[in-house]
Structure 1
Amino acid sequence: MKVIRPQMELEIKRKADILVVGGGPAGIGAAISAARLGKKVLLLEKRGFLGGNITACYVENCNHFLKGTPFHSEGLYKEIEQKCYEIYGNDNIREKNKMAFHSEYLKIFLDKFMKENKVEVLLHSFVNEVITRRNQIEAVIIQTKQGPEAVSAEIIIDATGDGDVAFGAGLPFEQGREKDGMCQPGTVNFRVTGAHTEEMKGERLSEISNIFTKESKEGRTGLVCSKQDIPFGRLTKAGQISYVNYSCAHGIDPTDIEGLTRGEMECREYILEIYHYLKNQFHELRDIEITSIAPEIGFRDSRRIRGEYYLTIEDMESDRQFDDAIAVFPRFYDMLPPDGTSSGNGKVEGKGYDGHIFEPIVDERTFQVPYRALVPAGINNLLLAGRCISADHVAESGIRAISLCMMMGQAAGAAAVLAVQDRVKPADIDYKKLQEILRKQDISLP
């Protein structure tokens, strides 16, 4: 059976110089960057709050991998991290990452931050349709409880993570591994309270994590989920562990509602089993209870939109130098096994077909992200920011870092401003001007 969707004429009620779709780290970077350069910016977010995976999925410990290395946070990420810490503090008795975000306070901070920087925000605005004409996006359509609404802008920035705008415009993309299209698993984090903090001496949570990993690899946990590590978030004086990162659902298409439904339900089953395991195995956690489950399943990769340049893992491993570089980031890769296999040695050479990939920072090794990877091929007024940029699957395991997504957002926002000011397509901006703007925004470039 089929139905015919009636044609509908929509008045464009909202216009902006620059439209940013997606209020996660990349969208935040893009919106603030463009607004501070004097343009009218509208930010659309499908949820009821900003922050993306930090707030929706409890991924608070974003730049933990920089500790003990020569690297530090940069740009807007550094500014937000410092201001949040100064305003709200952090009731975290762990030494592992004192600057970890408190995701609930971050929601409030970002509301105020957008107002201070004159960014117009529309929450509960899911973009699921794009109107194009002659390689140009004329409007995006958001679904509201009062029906569809059309929004237009001179330049649109797709910071949805899943490349929803680019997909709606019919642009080519890749998803998952090259051979079978499998993506990394989806995860539903959760919070517990009731930990006996007076008994949690030193880095006891790290010790518990190590014990779990050892028992899991030896097949002694009796748990169904195949994940063999269990990162923990902040530990507060009140006995709250701000996130438990364990429950993973494999073999899911992050853009398919049937897969998403299965993943949410499956992960909640895994949450219950790991909760009982922790409660029964560790005396300090004997009285914990689940206080909240993340509002939605979080994914590490999905669509990657084809752009003017296709960033490869070989580019990153060789630290290829780009004339149009918009970010330099420490060499760090993190990919959970798409097929759930627990084999492999964690090396990048496995390319996601031989277990997980985990390559920590070594010395001062870096990689660069070129501006052209943010410019999609086929639409003249669209830019990409975040994990949906043009890159191969293994390269994405490095560029998906939250702080780097925000840096890419800053670059996209500044590039959009240059395109509007110079009346050129984003592909034709002067990238030397862009790099100068980014340096003034506290982004380190060659």
Structure 2
Amino acid sequence: MTQHQAHERIADDPGEATIVARSDVVVVGGGPAGFSAAIAARREGASVTLIERYPYLGGLAAGGMVLVLDDMHNGDEVTTIGICSEMIERMEAVGACVYPKPEERGQSWDLYRKWARWGAFDFRAQTKPAPIVMAAAFDPDGWKRVSNDMIEEAGVNVRLHSWFSRTVMEGNRATGVICETKEGRQAIMGEVVIDATGDLDVAAAAGAPFVHGSYILTTVFRLGGVDTDAAERFALEEPEAYATIDRQAKRIMGGSWDFWWLKTPLPGIVWCNCPHMTGLDGLSVEDITKADFLGRKRIYALVEFVRARMPGFANAVVVDVAPQLGVRQTRLLEGDYVVTKEDVMDRVHFADTVARGRDYYTPYRAMLPKGIDGLIVAGRHYSATEAAQKQSREIPPCMAMGQSAGVAAALAVAGRIPPRAVQATAICERVRAQGGDPGDRPSANATILEKAA
């Protein structure tokens, strides 16, 4: 039976759930957006419970091994700061992060040769060489380690191994969530709930409208035993021979970005953000199971090929495959405002802007579900068209969105008002006080078109 065929149904009484925690703010999802939201809310004085289904924090950054933080600059200006910047600095301090300092950013072939294999180039640039910009390559366990430290220091109540099941509603207001755990069904109650699940699980369960999108799935992996100096030398000194082998490698994978391998902070370990698989739904159990099996087959076929053919990869071994499948797009909220591709590409600035990426802006309305109170959405599942989301779903802007969501939730609790009544100007003021840039002051070199709230 396939996912498109009718399934038989049985009656299932969910019964009761034990209330195990109450806090001002409940954040569901410990990925970059949820982590940022939890810390931001706690720094504003709210009590916070963070719920995560996996045994670690980090989401697709750590568990999905999306090991480059990019889309956080506008020319020479670093635009995504705040908790994201803190994370980068703290990972660098423990040897888990590498990025070009300001004096090493710019456009030249020397800079490109030094930094391109770290992923620190402007991937949207149309010129060659692509400019080297602020982007950070990091180690996934370094992310987990620093996340734990920052969450503990902030005083957030964390509940791992808790799989979201249902949104608790009082009328049209979210008041908590139910999780499935080894101890049975557990309830976590709060004044404001933040959906940072990436798939809009909480808002969808609450009845919020959404669209169902899809994009490529990826089984990300890392290889060890790679002589990166030899591999880079081969690519630079014998570009035609390298290009031939590179094309064959990409055919074996069935899809990848231009650079299928990048360097990491660990010597001899390279990051492979591939293979890509199309036509699969990140919400379908059958499809994501297929992706896991198919991805591993392609990975080991690739390793066999490059060990035999690619200089520098003769001793390559699979170190690990990301425990989380690389899912880029599933449910997208239809919120009070839906961000369009034109909004992103034209750098539209909104009167209620509360977060930003490189040179695009997120209005607070795009984080609020229609017809649902007590709930804020932060992350790649925010209210945007499929085309707009593909341009604005990178990790740093999702962290900026999370930081603003956490601040908004805390302000709602403190003011005893619903999140929808919180003013964007108040959110921006507090985000700036926390060291972030909510985008309320648009870049001087951006084309600004005000869209009123």
Moved more, 403-412 or 139-148: 139-148
* Counterpart residue type for residue 389 of structure 2: E
1:194 and 2:225 equivalent?
Answer: yes
- Distance 1:408-1:64 versus aligned 2 partners, 3 A rule: closer
**Number of the residue aligned with 1:329:** 357
- Summarize the alignment of residues 90-239 of structure 1 with structure 2, pairs less than 5 Å apart: 90=97, 95=115, 96=118, 97=120, 99-176=136-213, 183-197=214-228, 199-200=230-231, 223=252, 225-227=254-256, 229-235=258-264, 238-239=267-268
Unpaired segments of 5 or more residues in structure 2?
Answer: 1-7, 101-113, 121-134, 442-453
What is the distance in 1 between the residues matched to 2:44 and 2:38? Answer: 10
If the length of structure 2 is used for normalisation, what is the TM-score?
Answer: 0.82
CA contact (8 A) 1:213 1:228 kept: no
Partner SS for 1:149:
strand
Unpaired segments of 5 or more residues in structure 1?
Answer: 177-182, 331-365
**Number of the residue aligned with 2:129:** none
CA contact (8 A) 1:47 1:124 kept: yes
How far is 1:141 from its partner? 0.9
Partner SS for 2:49:
strand
Moved more, 311-320 or 4-13: 4-13
Moved more, 290-299 or 383-392: 290-299
Aligned counterpart in structure 2 of residue 382 of structure 1, from 366, 372, 375 = 375
**Number of the residue aligned with 1:28:** 35
Deviations 1:118-140 (A, max 9, x none): 01111111102122231012331
CA contact (8 A) 1:16 1:40 kept: yes
Aligned counterpart in structure 2 of residue 50 of structure 1, from 48, 53, 57 = 57
* Counterpart residue type for residue 150 of structure 1: A
What is the distance in 2 between the residues matched to 1:211 and 1:369? Answer: 44
1:427 and 2:420 equivalent?
Answer: yes
Aligned counterpart in structure 2 of residue 245 of structure 1, from 268, 273, 290 = 273
* Counterpart residue type for residue 81 of structure 1: I
How far is 1:168 from its partner? 1.1
**Number of the residue aligned with 1:10:** 17
- Distance 1:68-1:317 versus aligned 2 partners, 3 A rule: closer
Aligned counterpart in structure 2 of residue 436 of structure 1, from 422, 429, 435 = 429
- Summarize the alignment of residues 295-334 of structure 1 with structure 2, pairs less than 5 Å apart: 295-330=323-358
What is the distance in 2 between the residues matched to 1:439 and 1:403? Answer: 16
How far is 1:187 from its partner? 0.5
Moved more, 223-232 or 159-168: 223-232
Partner SS for 2:347:
coil
Percent identity of the aligned residues? 30
What is the distance in 1 between the residues matched to 2:404 and 2:99? Answer: 33
* Counterpart residue type for residue 261 of structure 2: F
Cα RMSD over matched residues?
A: 2.6
CA contact (8 A) 1:212 1:229 kept: no
What is the distance in 2 between the residues matched to 1:407 and 1:413? Answer: 10
CA contact (8 A) 1:60 1:233 kept: no
Partner SS for 2:391:
helix
CA contact (8 A) 2:33 2:400 kept: yes
Partner SS for 2:306:
helix
**Number of the residue aligned with 1:76:** 83
CA contact (8 A) 2:257 2:273 kept: no
CA contact (8 A) 2:366 2:384 kept: yes
CA contact (8 A) 1:190 1:244 kept: yes
If the length of structure 1 is used for normalisation, what is the TM-score?
Answer: 0.83
- Distance 1:215-1:279 versus aligned 2 partners, 3 A rule: closer
**Number of the residue aligned with 2:319:** 291
How far is 1:321 from its partner? 2.2
How far is 1:238 from its partner? 4.1
Deviations 1:47-95 (A, max 9, x none): 1100111111211111277497433541110011011101335589964
What is the distance in 2 between the residues matched to 1:256 and 1:208? Answer: 43
**Number of the residue aligned with 1:403:** 396
* Counterpart residue type for residue 239 of structure 1: G
Task: Provide the aligned length of Structure 1 versus Structure 2.
Answer: 402
* Counterpart residue type for residue 43 of structure 1: L
Partner SS for 1:415:
helix
* Counterpart residue type for residue 297 of structure 2: E
Moved more, 52-61 or 383-392: 52-61
- Summarize the alignment of residues 267-286 of structure 1 with structure 2, pairs less than 5 Å apart: 267-286=295-314
Partner SS for 2:33:
helix
- Distance 1:270-1:67 versus aligned 2 partners, 3 A rule: farther
* Counterpart residue type for residue 87 of structure 2: I
- Distance 1:208-1:272 versus aligned 2 partners, 3 A rule: farther
CA contact (8 A) 2:37 2:404 kept: yes
CA contact (8 A) 1:92 1:236 kept: no
Deviations 1:418-438 (A, max 9, x none): 111111111111221111112
